[in-house]
Amino acid sequence: MIALVQRVTGAKVEVEGSVTGEIGQGLLLLLGVEKNDNDDVLAKLADKVLKLRVFNDDMGKMNLNLAQIGGELLVVSQFTLVADTRKGNRPGFSAAATPEVSEKLYEAFVEYCRNREIKTATGRFGADMQVSLINDGPVTFHIQMN
């Protein structure tokens, strides 16, 4: 699994002009699922994201995680994160899991986060989405498990 995580003061995702998910302060997480991903990889990635100390404490140091600030999470599926761009000019997607497997793991990832009492909003799997955000910092992390 691959995640692109951005610290935001606000973010939303729209499908066909309707908002499907919206958050205030927290993390926008773009999630790509690879062929060999499973529930163990999912749990490791989710725990890593939820424990990331990327929010400022009283001293201005990145020392607090999402739960400690009462932040929210917006999870958006993005299979293009698994693209191989090393050769040529057209990205290859042979490392991506099938849509059925990806959707199952995406939904399980969201449920895993919600079960840890993190307010979690989503996009719509497989849809053409428009994502808006205010990146705070900017602070962005690329996390790859597997």
Chunked in runs of 10, what are the mean pLDDT values of the chain (146 residues)? Answer: 98 97 98 97 98 97 98 97 95 95 98 98 96 97 92
pLDDT for 70 equals 98
Residue 75 near residue 109, CB atoms below 8 Å: yes
Catalytic residues: 78-80
In this structure, which CATH number among 3.50.80.10, 3.40.350.10, 3.30.470.10, 1.10.287.70 belongs to the domain 2-144? 3.50.80.10
pLDDT of residue 146: 73
Q: pTM for this one?
A: 0.95
Checking 139-142 for CB contacts under 8 A at 24+ apart, the result is 139/6, 139/7, 139/54, 139/62, 140/4, 140/5, 140/6, 140/7, 141/3, 141/4, 141/5, 141/6, 141/52, 141/54, 142/2, 142/3, 142/4, 142/5
Measure the CA–CA gap between 101 and 74, rounded to whole angstroms: 20
Both tokens assigned to 32: 């790509």
* Per-residue model confidence (pLDDT) at position 80: 96
